[in-house]
């Protein structure tokens, strides 16, 4: 994207117009369009993180999508009206097929969508051609290393380098790490390239990681802590309203805005967990879906959160 303010402003305006057109077609014309795609390219990963169920699937027969299937899925998402695609894994930056790498696939997607993004563990170079890159940090060094295969130093070093990509940090609150959020936010002042932090709550997929699940009391405390830090001026992108709604999960979910692609090439509409695990709405911790749903219902805080995450360049 570069640092030219005029180019960045024009890009933001283009995205805003595109999203306005989407909401007009969806809400006014009643067209059943998905907005955001979660695209899992591979289950393969260079880490074995305790909270993650996906690296445990990397031995599956179809755990890594091929170029032809990936581009066909992207074309299908574009035809369906999808506007945003987020690449995930496993570790999406490891993806390759023959001579094709993640960079090639990201460039292909950039020609189709208003905004492209990826979520990475941060251990690989971050100069990839997406519009937004989330780096997962799950605590300060000791906690993060325990949960995420000793990877803190590599991720922290990469976050300290100049990058043309819009960098955000993603923090998944669980029983072991939620108290680390404040210290991590203070430490991130040393990483000026990071432009914001998103938080969500750990979701148990039932593959041996259930001990990380927040009980109701811990869930309330963790969310209250995140809200307090946001109100103290730390750059948490989530809206207060959506965070509060996550305490008891009494928010209206518009999961028809979501579409999922898995490494076997399958495409499903609806909940992020659909085809990936058992759907238990009471355990939902997916704050991005709460924000997306809130924006669809014209909630100002969620609209602002969406602006900061996907529109502002």
Q: How far apart are CA 281 and CA 6, in angstroms?
A: 43
Confidence of residue 53 (pLDDT cuts 50, 70, 90): confident
Query: What radius of gyration, in Å, describes the C-alpha atoms of the chain?
Result: 18
**What is the pTM assigned to this prediction?**
0.95
What pLDDT is recorded for position 246? 97
In terms of phi and psi (left: phi > 0; alpha: psi -120 to 50; beta: otherwise), the region of 2 is left
Expressed in percent and rounded to 5, the helix, strand and coil fractions of the chain are: 45, 15, 40
Spatial CA neighbour of 227 closest among 214, 216, 217, 241? 241
List pLDDT tens digits, range 192-234: 999 999 999 999 988 778 899 999 999 999 999 999 999 999 9
Q: For 62-78, write each residue's pLDDT tens digit.
A: 899 999 999 999 999 99
Residues 6+ apart with CB under 8 A from 280: none
Average pLDDT of the segment spanning 132-141: 98
Which H or E run contains 7? helix 5-23
pLDDT band per the 50, 70, 90 thresholds, residue 4: confident
Residue keyed to tokens 């899992």:
40
Residues facing residue 36 across a β-bridge: 84, 258
Tens-place pLDDT, residues 86-118 = 999 999 999 999 999 999 999 999 999 999 999
Structure tokens given for 10: 């024009």
CB burial class (10 A; 0-12, 13-18, 19+) of residue 146? Answer: middle
- In whole numbers, what is the pLDDT of the chain averaged over residues? 95
Instruction: Domain ranges for the chain, please list them.
Output: 5-311
CATH architecture of 5-311: Alpha-Beta Barrel (3.20)
């Amino acid at each position: 994207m570069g640092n030219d303010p005029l180019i960045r402003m024009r890009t933001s305006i283009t995205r805003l117009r595109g999203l306005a057109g989407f909401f007009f077609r969806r809400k006014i014309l009643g067209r059943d369009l998905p907005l955001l795609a979660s695209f899992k390219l591979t289950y393969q990963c260079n880490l074995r993180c305790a909270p993650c169920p996906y690296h445990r699937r990397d031995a599956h027969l179809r755990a890594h999508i091929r170029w032809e299937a990936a581009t066909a899925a992207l074309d299908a998402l574009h035809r369906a009206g999808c506007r945003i695609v987020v690449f995930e894994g496993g570790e999406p930056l490891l993806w390759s097929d023959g001579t094709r790498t993640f960079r090639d696939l990201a460039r292909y997607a950039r020609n189709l969508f208003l905004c492209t993004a990826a979520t990475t563990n941060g251990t690989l170079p971050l100069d990839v051609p997406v519009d937004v890159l989330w780096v997962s940090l799950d605590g300060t060094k000791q906690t993060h290393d325990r949960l995420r295969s000793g990877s803190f130093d590599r991720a922290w070093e990469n976050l300290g380098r100049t990058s043309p990509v819009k960098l955000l940090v993603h923090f998944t609150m669980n029983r072991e790490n939620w108290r680390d959020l404040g210290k991590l936010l203070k430490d991130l002042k040393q990483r000026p390239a990071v432009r914001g932090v998103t938080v969500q709550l750990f979701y148990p997929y039932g593959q041996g990681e259930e001990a990380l699940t927040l009980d109701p009391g811990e869930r309330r405390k963790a969310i209250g802590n995140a809200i307090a830090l946001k109100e103290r001026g730390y750059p948490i992108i989530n809206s207060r309203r959506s965070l509060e709604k996550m305490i008891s999960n009494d928010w209206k979910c518009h999961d028809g805005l979501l579409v999922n692609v898995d490494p076997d090439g399958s495409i499903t509409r609806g909940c992020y967990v659909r085809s990936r695990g058992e759907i238990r709405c009471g355990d939902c911790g997916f704050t991005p879906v709460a924000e997306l749903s809130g924006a669809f219902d014209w909630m100002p805080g969620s609209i602002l959160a969406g602006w900061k995450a996907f529109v502002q360049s």
